Structure 1
Amino acid sequence: MNTESFRFYIKVRTALNIEARTIHDVLHTVFGDEAPSYRTVARWAQWFREGREEIEDEERSGRPVTETTLDNIEEIRSIVNDDPHVTIAELQEHTGLSYGTVHRILSDHLELRKITARYIPKQLTDYQRNERVRICKENLSRFTEGGWRLSDVITGDESWFFHQQTGRKVSNAAWVAKDDPPPTIIRRNKPSSGTHAIKLHHDNGRAHVHQDVLDYLRSEGITIIEKNQLATKDEIEHKQKEIEEICSPIITKLYSSENNSMPNGEHVSHSNGKGPTIEEVD
């Protein structure tokens, strides 16, 4: 029994002054769950008592469901592929379709869902990604074998490992397929320092880039990462000479005024008159 047949029965029984509750009970007894609900029966009974004759639905305002065509589906697919962050309102404006039609095409036909993006600290090159994967696999292997320690990680300058749960931003939500991962967004602003970070510092000197130190670290089985950022021995020695030429006169004058006394109270004599070297001051 279709919908119009149920309505015709309600119309006839209402004309006989039978209450809506009785009409619903009879329909439910005969047709079970296929019968209309009591609220539907009561609503149509009220309309028939008020003089309605038609049992068909009145024409509704708005666009018909037939707007869900293959052309419209492909048009929305093309727009989303060009800009995954596009909103339903923007799709409405561009296509002229209703909100419900756009939403139905996105969810039912294209099987897309809109989720917010993940934040990453910076964009990496393919080489940097491969190096990080290689180092992580190596550390994982050493950890599994019981030979990995956090103290083995030494940075080449003031560096820090940062961990923070970045809040989600609705403005960065994007349409993605059902099984696709969420998109990523590069975090442009530098996070403020505080208790949310694990920081590893050294003395801001040349200790961790000096060739002697590097040789010692390698002899202890410590892996040096980011090798492409390390200076060569010749570069270090050249820079050291430049610093000594600038600092030696200042250091000589400083310790001469102190009666050639070092900060720890020991007396230092310089027979050549050139004053202490950079290594002695360090």
Structure 2
Amino acid sequence: MDKENVRFYIRLRTALGIEARTIHDELYTVFGDEAPSYRTVARWSHLFREGREEVEDEDRPGRPVTETTSENIEQVQSIIDDDPFVTVDELQEQTGLSHGTVYRIVSDHLKLMKITARYVPKHLTDFQRAERVRICKENLAKFERGSWKLCDVVTGDESWFYHKQTGRKLSNAAWVKKGDPPPTIVRRSRFAPRTLVCIFFNSTGPLLIHYVQRGQTIDHEYYIENCLYPVINEIKSQRSSFGTRSIKLHHDNGTPHFHQEVLNYLESEGITVMPHPPNSPDLAPCDFWLFDLIK
């Protein structure tokens, strides 16, 4: 049902002196529920009696009905290319387009989605990236051959837990193509009340959750006495028949972790230390999964 044809019919019947109620009944008989309401018929009938001849809608001020033009799409794309962290509200302000139009351009035409930036401690050199690949492949090959088993892996690390979360991750969300990796932002220190916690776990659950007293520094002696001793004792209690046999310890390259006395102690207990690439917390389960989940 074309609305302009309906209006032309209303105009014709009005010119013949037919009342709006009768015109509406005629339209309803033909079109049923798709017919215009009586109020609409009466309004157009009144306009035609007042001398209006056009059946088309008058031009209305404001934005055009169709705003997803190629020019607008290119404009939005250019702004996002300059600043991938720009918000929809900022795009709306800079382009003059409606909120809905901006969102349609971004999601439907540019195929972008906004995800939160991932914090990284530092940017890696080419050599460090190559080492990441090499070490990961070597570790994976041992699991695939069956010489290493996931149930024998113990992983642990320390992390600061702030008593109150400040800031919002949404402020770090940026537009990226679907399937592309998230952007990265270097984390900055925040001076707020916090507690240092050491956590170790394996495939069955936690082995140790240790809260470090305020002002205490974790050196190799503290690490052995308060972390490794309790963890190894817990392993022995859970594996009374096997003890620490075949156990693989995965921790990062923190200074206390690779002190010679720490390595000697782990060797004396028959524990193998899994190699870990430098500056790669995203490859440690505590960092890329547990701590992020808790925080």
Q: TM-score under structure 2 normalisation?
A: 0.52
Which residues of structure 1 form unaligned runs of 5+? Answer: 29-35, 230-282
Paired position in structure 2 for 1:37: 34
Kept in 1, the 8 Å contact 2:10–2:23? The answer is: no
Structure 1 counterpart of 2:90, one-letter code: E
Paired position in structure 2 for 1:148: 149
Paired position in structure 2 for 1:202: 224
Offset, 1:172 = 2.4
d(CA) in 2 for partners of 1:202, 1:143: 28
Structure with the higher fraction of residues in strand conformation: 2
Offset, 1:8 = 1.9
d(CA) in 1 for partners of 2:275, 2:199: 24
**Per the alignment, in what secondary structure is the counterpart of residue 225 of structure 2?**
coil
Paired position in structure 2 for 1:171: 171
Structure 1 counterpart of 2:272, one-letter code: I
Distance 1:76 1:218, change over 3 A: farther
- Which region of structure 1 is more displaced relative to structure 2, 173-182 or 215-224? 215-224
The one of 153, 158, 167 equivalent to 1:160 is: 158
Kept in 2, the 8 Å contact 1:85–1:173? The answer is: yes
Kept in 2, the 8 Å contact 1:119–1:187? The answer is: no
Q: Residues 16-35 of structure 1 correspond to what in structure 2 (within 5 A)? A: 16-17=18-19, 18=22, 20=24, 22-28=26-32
**Per the alignment, in what secondary structure is the counterpart of residue 175 of structure 2?**
strand
Q: Residues 127-276 of structure 1 correspond to what in structure 2 (within 5 A)? A: 127-144=127-144, 145=146, 147-148=148-149, 159-160=157-158, 169-189=169-189, 192-193=195-196, 201-203=223-225, 209-210=259-260, 213=263, 217=267, 222-223=272-273, 225=275
d(CA) in 2 for partners of 1:142, 1:188: 37
Deviations 1:242-273 (A, max 9, x none): xxxxxxxxxxxxxxxxxxxxxxxxxxxxxxxx
Alignment length (residue pairs):
216
- Which region of structure 1 is more displaced relative to structure 2, 129-138 or 75-84? 129-138
d(CA) in 2 for partners of 1:197, 1:57: 71
Kept in 2, the 8 Å contact 1:116–1:169? The answer is: no
Kept in 1, the 8 Å contact 2:135–2:276? The answer is: no
d(CA) in 2 for partners of 1:27, 1:228: 74
Distance 1:91 1:123, change over 3 A: same
Q: Residues 7-22 of structure 1 correspond to what in structure 2 (within 5 A)? A: 7-12=7-12, 16-17=18-19, 18=22, 20=24, 22=26
Distance 1:133 1:203, change over 3 A: farther
Deviations 1:59-96 (A, max 9, x none): 21213357655444323222111101112333344344
Structure 1 counterpart of 2:40, one-letter code: W
d(CA) in 2 for partners of 1:160, 1:55: 74
Structure 1 counterpart of 2:82, one-letter code: D
Deviations 1:35-73 (A, max 9, x none): x834x4434213124334442112212133576554443
Offset, 1:120 = 3.6
Structure 2 counterpart of 1:50, one-letter code: H
d(CA) in 1 for partners of 2:200, 2:26: 71
Fraction of identical pairs, as percent? 39
Deviations 1:167-200 (A, max 9, x none): 9733223222244344344444587445987569
Report whether the alignment pairs 1:123 with 2:122.
yes
Q: CA RMSD in A?
A: 4.7
d(CA) in 2 for partners of 1:161, 1:148: 26
d(CA) in 2 for partners of 1:207, 1:59: 73
Which residues of structure 2 form unaligned runs of 5+? Answer: 202-208, 211-222, 227-254, 280-295
d(CA) in 1 for partners of 2:262, 2:107: 63
Structure 1 counterpart of 2:224, one-letter code: H
**Per the alignment, in what secondary structure is the counterpart of residue 147 of structure 1?**
coil
Structure 2 counterpart of 1:160, one-letter code: E
**Per the alignment, in what secondary structure is the counterpart of residue 47 of structure 1?**
helix
- Which region of structure 1 is more displaced relative to structure 2, 124-133 or 218-227? 218-227
**Per the alignment, in what secondary structure is the counterpart of residue 51 of structure 1?**
helix
Offset, 1:143 = 3.4
Structure 1 counterpart of 2:43, one-letter code: W
Distance 1:173 1:216, change over 3 A: closer
d(CA) in 1 for partners of 2:57, 2:199: 62
Kept in 2, the 8 Å contact 1:4–1:55? The answer is: yes
